[in-house]
Amino acid sequence: MSKSVWDNYFWIPFRNDSGETIPAYSSVKITGVVSGGARTTLTVDKPDSSATMFATTGPFSVPADAYGSACVSVHRVAKFTGSVSSGNRCKPKSADWVLEEDSSGQFVCLGVIDSTKSLGLFIQDQVSSGGVKFVKAPSGGIPGRVGTLLGYANCTIWTEASSTKQIQASTDTITVFNWTTSPVCVNGDRYGIAAWCNSAWYIIAEDCNDEGSTILPGTGSGTLKALSDFTETTIYPATGTSGYYDMRFTGTGTGGGFE
């Protein structure tokens, strides 16, 4: 019995919930699963910017509400858009069925199978979107954390040119969170390293300003010496006499006043 190239891939049934016909070799967003008795079936839709889990369809189109087979292997054969070559990182294009070049993507192109059909072989990064990125913060840097609320900013990914060894800005951006209480990447060229942590990009930094507790208000008190005599003040042309008596002032962190 002959063996197909597709036997090397892991396939699972899916139901097309997108309301559209899914073209062949499409990248789809996994939205959940439905029970099919002895078989579990994925539910899929068109990718969007919030999607994190993806599958790839086979060499046949799948009408709306119909069932097909999705590839969830590390290696994928998928359609792409634009110019993609071996070594390029890609991610599913939002509101489309194809992959597009993006240096923050979780798929890496191993090679182009058919350039006229924009078909390539891709491998899924084993740490998803992980690793580290060299980024440049916007003007003003990345704001600091306030309590448990993280600061964040949209940062540009920078890469290096292999021929000149110079760094250069890419066209891709990622949201980078700042876990420290101080703004980071504020001065100079505003470069930094962001690492994948939990499910987001965090700036690599040190926090030397967080004292780890709430600073309570200070306390203090003071007493003015008593005035033994009245003090006369003459204002021309009018003349008046005023008297200042014993005055004391006390204060604490919760209030105070004059006596």
Instruction: Classify the C-alpha dihedral 156-157-158-162 as positive or negative.
Output: negative
End-to-end CA separation in angstroms for the chain: 103
Segment holding 202, helix H or strand E: strand 200-203
CATH code of 5-124, in short, is 2.40.300
Domain ranges of the chain: 5-124, 132-203, 220-258
pLDDT of the chain along its 259 residues, tens only? 444 544 556 889 999 999 999 999 999 999 999 876 667 899 999 999 888 789 999 999 999 999 999 998 888 999 999 999 998 889 999 999 999 998 778 899 999 999 999 999 999 875 545 678 899 999 999 999 999 999 999 999 998 887 788 999 988 888 999 999 999 999 999 999 998 887 688 999 887 766 665 555 566 666 666 656 655 655 565 555 555 555 555 555 555 444 4
Closest CA relative to residue 87, chosen from 69, 71, 105: 105
CA–CA separation, 16 vs 58, rounded Å? 13
Identify the burial level of 136 via C-beta atoms within 10 angstroms of its C-beta, where 0-12 means exposed, 13-18 middle and 19 or more buried.
middle
